[in-house]
Amino acid sequence: MYGLQARLRAHGISLAVDGIFGPETENAVMSFRYSKGLGRIGVVDGPTWRALLSGPSLPTLRYGSTGPYVYFLQARLKDYGFDPGPVDGVFGPRTRDAVMSFQRAARITADGIVGPVTWGVLLKGYLS
């Protein structure tokens, strides 16, 4: 849920990143879907994720990065069973360690930096 909320925020929708799919998040999803011609319903399906992940490219993240994309990263790491510590939008030592563990498990360069290759593996389930 943190990942969804963070990506909605990255698209300019103001909402809390609290990990709860409540009325605020449902309304944000409906507004986003409507703006993309996907209908005004509060469902996050494949087309919704593809739209959420299109647009501005995902930034390269590393130790010290902060903001909604770090929330999104931390949420995806948790989804895959890697513990980045609290989902707080701060790329600290626990997030770096989780990224490196994920990278090793995915058999990609384990440098703790989240660039296009790491994003591609992290988002594979959303884009298929």
The number of beta carbons lying within 10 Å of the beta carbon of residue 37 is 8
Which amino acid makes up residue 66? T
Q: What is the pLDDT of residues 12-36, one digit of tens each?
A: 898 988 888 999 999 999 999 999 9
Please tell me which residue, 110 or 76, carries the higher pLDDT value: 110
Q: What is the pTM of this model?
A: 0.73
User: In the chain, what are the domain boundaries?
Assistant: 2-53, 68-127
- Range of weakest confidence among 3-17, 27-41, 77-91, 95-109: 3-17
The amino acid present at 85, given as its one-letter code, is: G
Segment 42-78, tens digit of pLDDT: 999 988 988 888 766 788 999 999 988 898 899 889 9
Six token digits for residue 40:
């005004």
Options 1.10.101.10, 3.40.50.920, 1.10.1840.10, 3.40.50.2300; CATH for 68-127 is 1.10.101.10
Q: How far is CA 84 from the centre of its chain?
A: 13
